[in-house]
Structure 1
Amino acid sequence: MSQKVIITCAVTGSIHTPTMSPYLPITPDEIIEASVGAAEAGAAIIHLHARDPETGKPSPDPKLFMQFLPRIKQQTDAVMNVSTGGGLTMSLEERLEAAHVARPELCSLNMGSMNFGLYQIADKHKDWQQPWERDYLEATRHGIVSNTFGQIERIISEVGGAYGTKFEFECYDVSHLYTLAHFLDRKLLTPPLFVQTIFGLLGGIGPAAEDLMHMRRTADKLFGKDYLWSVLAAGRHQMNLCTMGAIMGGNVRVGLEDSLYIAKGKLATSNAAQVAKIRHIMEELSLEIATADEARQMLDLKGGDQVGF
């Protein structure tokens, strides 16, 4: 089972805005449809954010999460991963609201404060559907995504310790791996660690093959056999770096949070399409895809009967 590939699908996120793609899930019903479709296509884990159904703006409101979490659970056995990254302008308290209500099996946890540049995307569009979109992207020119040591420790304690929730540790650069090792050394975390290495976002490590190999070597040095490695890459780098990571023994993450495209210049019409594509690539490489229950066992999760929804 350790050789099987876990596919995560991040169905909407907080990076892309409604103008960028008509296929980006916004409403709870759209998020449900996207999540169930991705699970049916082969995703064992669904990574979830919420959006205001009227404007499409990322929202921390747990009431929105609870409009889709129970209904996804009714229709699929996929592991649901609730983001603690939230949106780029949210406070830590806002980012934790949904996790406190949902008490999920898995939450994402960013392993360091960082510049998170999206402002360069703003110039690619002129006619915005919503008045918030351009300002939201431009704000990343001067803002910072805050994940201090104290904030990380709070999330580990208030979510992991309190609810038995495990984490998808999002590592955007080599320093984030060392920060994760710090918390492991302090015995605040219990292996196996689910380490999501992220490539190609402005402010993090680049998308070159050597960048991926360096992150893998560093994680191997720091965590040995105590972790499961996964790869996500932004935009056009999504499929090639995920494929490379899987060949090197990793797991993969796709979805419209990370890339809006299915091929060069062609928008993905669904999250399921991206899952189906990466699954096809994995199977052509003779790699087996993990089911949701196999992913639970591999990551030592508490089980879907122990959540708050």
Structure 2
Amino acid sequence: MIRLVKRELKTCCELLSEYEDSGKTAANPVKLQFEGVGSRDVYNIAAPFEDEGEHVIAGRVEARDSEHAQLMFFVERAGVWTPRAGAPVFALQDPFHTRIHGELVVGGVQIYPHPERPDALAWRTVFYKGASIADLQLFFTGPNGMKDLRLVELKDGSVGVFTRPQGEKGGRGKIGYACVSSLSGLTVGIVEGAPLLDGQFVDAEWGGANELHLLANGIVGVLGHIACFDDRGDRHYYPMAFGFDPVSGRFTDIELIAVRNRFLAGAAKRTDLVDVVFSGGIIRKPDGTADLYAGISDAEAHRLTIDDPFAKYEALEKT
């Protein structure tokens, strides 16, 4: 039985070597097809979810030469995903979703002019909630400069808050954790004060949580990413997962769950983004596998069948 304890800090290169030797499943790669957005790309999608009896995908829609994106909702028609009629459109990047206390929660990254550098953009995470997509209303704006802020309803009904500060506290980006009793208790101060999960990333690398799954034993399965630069300055993003016990604060080591060359070949936004896989979400399946939905090279949206990364965490001995 796997124990819920952290063992060893590893770099992207070490994790990649372990993945390549693991023989993990990587099957049925698919590039998702989108229409109705003109010449723009759809990438960094979230996993599909049900809304008013229909399966919906939220995606980042953006011109190849721009960072100004729209969060749009798509439905599948004859194998092609098209914009959902009447659905709201938000000026956000990198959508995500969850359900907390019976409500749909949708969020993304909001960009705005950098307050000190006229040629740069800054960012923050914003959250909407409602009974359905049609009812979504803004309810929380995260700290300036923080992406990858995620929420999960825990077994006792409280809300787990996974953060990703950068700068003096988080360097290039590290994961923190806090807990609030309800969404109404979420504040910028709580997010900024969340302690870091110590020992996950070397200082030259970074990562964050992308999607959170409450498992049957109360453990949170964290789907995320870990990233680094190579000597040429190219970025490398890898989908990863770990288990986190919100009671004890203990967590497992990070493991890679997929890599770029297991997906289909495709386009890239820039040459330094070719080896980028941004985890969007997973759909767990009864046969022990899961479908991973991901943004590829900041230009496309793909799906890959992998081993369910959370199955073993549901058997963790919480000691």
Larger Rg: 2
Give the structure with the higher percent helix: 1
TM-score w.r.t. length of structure 2: 0.30
TM norm structure 1: 0.31
More strand by share: 2
